[in-house]
């Protein structure tokens, strides 16, 4: 049974991830403390032994090392009992040759209610939600998908890496990075907010320190 601290409304971007004790396939865990000092991706799925969810879990597992290389852990969730998760993991290993190596929360519904994961009109089934939480326990990204659409795990990896780069370098990440149509793998220098900075941007562009389409759209290559 989860001992969940309920909130009046679902958490928003920038909020601390709600403190909760959860039953998982790896035993009882306390979130977000269990991943202290690490980023983590909590993702919910509608139910065990369903086709789209199975493809997602295989896709997450095949990229698990790449998440860990970003100091990021994975944890799944659905409103299923823990032995259902275990049997499903066994099926995936036996039939598909993939061993799931991250925990899955066996929710009674309390966690899903706290995080706003229950799909309207679909009983107790959870939506395909993704919460990206940083190493300070703050929610940085929230994504929701309908039951019919499987997630693009490469995009979730890109989002985690992009946010970490943004935090470290105080830059913004362009669309489709690192293959942006305008600036390729460059990152965006935050727009100037005063006349002095705008002029300085153009001077830096002339000096070759950055590149600019105009004072408000400047970009640069990340230093290795």
Predicted pLDDT of residue 7: 39
pLDDT band at 123 (very low <50, low <70, confident <90, very high): low
Q: Tell me, yes or no, if 72 is annotated catalytic.
A: no
Whether the Cβ atoms of residue 46 and residue 119 lie closer than 8 Å to each other: yes
Residue ranges, comma separated, of all CATH 3.30.1020.10 domains in the chain are: 170-224
Q: Residue with structure tokens 């370098």?
A: 169
| pLDDT tens track for 169-216 | 999 999 999 999 999 999 999 888 899 988 888 888 889 899 999 889
Average pLDDT of the residues in 140-149: 91
| Cβ 75 vs Cβ 68: under 8 Å | no
- Find how far residue 90's CA is from the centre of its chain: 25
Q: How far is Cα 168 from Cα 141, in angstroms, rounded to an integer?
A: 17
Round to whole Å and give the CA distance between 147 and 127.
6
- Could you tell me the CA-to-CA distances from 171 to 73, 168, 177 in Å, in that order? 24, 8, 13
pLDDT of residue 3: 44
Within 8 A by CB and 6+ apart from 63, the residues are 153, 154, 157
pLDDT at 4: 43
106 backbone dihedrals φ, ψ, rounded to 5°: -95, 95
From CA 124, how far away is CA 40, in angstroms rounded? 25
Pick left, alpha or beta for residue 37 (phi over 0 → left; psi -120 to 50 → alpha; otherwise beta): left
Q: Which of 53, 72, 212, 218 is catalytic?
A: 53
Q: What is the pLDDT of residues 52-77, one digit of tens each?
A: 999 999 999 999 999 999 999 999 99
CATH of domain 170-224: 3.30.1020.10
Mapped onto helix, strand or coil, the DSSP state of residue 221 is coil
User: For residue 193, with 0-12 CB atoms within 10 Å meaning exposed, 13-18 middle and 19 or more buried, which class applies?
Assistant: exposed
- Ranges of beta strands (E only) in 1-135 are 3-4, 20-24, 27-31, 39-44, 72-78, 104-106, 128-133
> What pTM was estimated for this model as a whole?
0.88
pLDDT at position 92 over 90: yes
Q: Where are the alpha helices (DSSP H) in the chain?
A: 51-62, 64-69, 82-96, 110-115, 153-169, 195-206
Contact assessment for residue 183 and residue 219, using Cβ atoms and an 8 Å cutoff:
yes
The reported pLDDT for the residue numbered 6 is: 42
Calculate mean pLDDT across residues 90-103: 97
For CATH 3.40.30.10, the residue range(s) in the chain are: 3-151
pLDDT digits (tens, 9 = 90+) for 9-56: 678 999 999 999 999 999 999 999 999 999 999 999 888 899 999 999
Contacts of 168 (CB under 8 A, 6+ apart): none
In this prediction, residues 155-174 reach a mean pLDDT of 97
* Topology of domain 3-151, CATH: Glutaredoxin (3.40.30)
């Amino acid at each position: 049974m989860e001992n969940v601290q309920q909130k009046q409304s679902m958490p928003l971007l920038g909020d601390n991830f709600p403190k909760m004790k959860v039953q998982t396939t790896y035993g009882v865990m306390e979130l977000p403390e269990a991943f202290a000092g690490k980023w983590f991706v909590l993702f919910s799925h509608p139910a065990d032994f369903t086709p789209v969810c199975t493809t997602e879990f295989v896709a997450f597992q095949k990229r698990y090392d790449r998440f860990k290389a970003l100091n990021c852990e994975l944890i799944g969730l659905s409103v299923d009992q823990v032995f259902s998760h275990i049997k499903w993991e066994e099926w995936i290993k036996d039939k598909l040759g993939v061993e799931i190596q991250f925990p899955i929360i066996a929710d009674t519904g309390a966690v899903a209610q706290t995080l706003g994961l229950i799909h309207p009109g679909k009983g107790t089934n959870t939506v395909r939600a993704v919460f990206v939480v940083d190493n300070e326990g703050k929610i940085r990204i929230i994504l929701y998908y309908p039951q019919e659409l499987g997630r693009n795990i490469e995009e979730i990896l890109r989002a985690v890496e992009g946010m970490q780069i943004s935090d470290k370098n105080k830059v913004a990440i362009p669309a489709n990075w690192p293959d942006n149509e305008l600036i390729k793998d460059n990152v965006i220098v935050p727009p100037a907010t005063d006349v002095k900075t705008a002029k300085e941007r153009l001077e830096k562009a002339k000096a070759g320190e950055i590149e600019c389409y105009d004072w408000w759209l400047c970009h640069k290559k990340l230093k290795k």
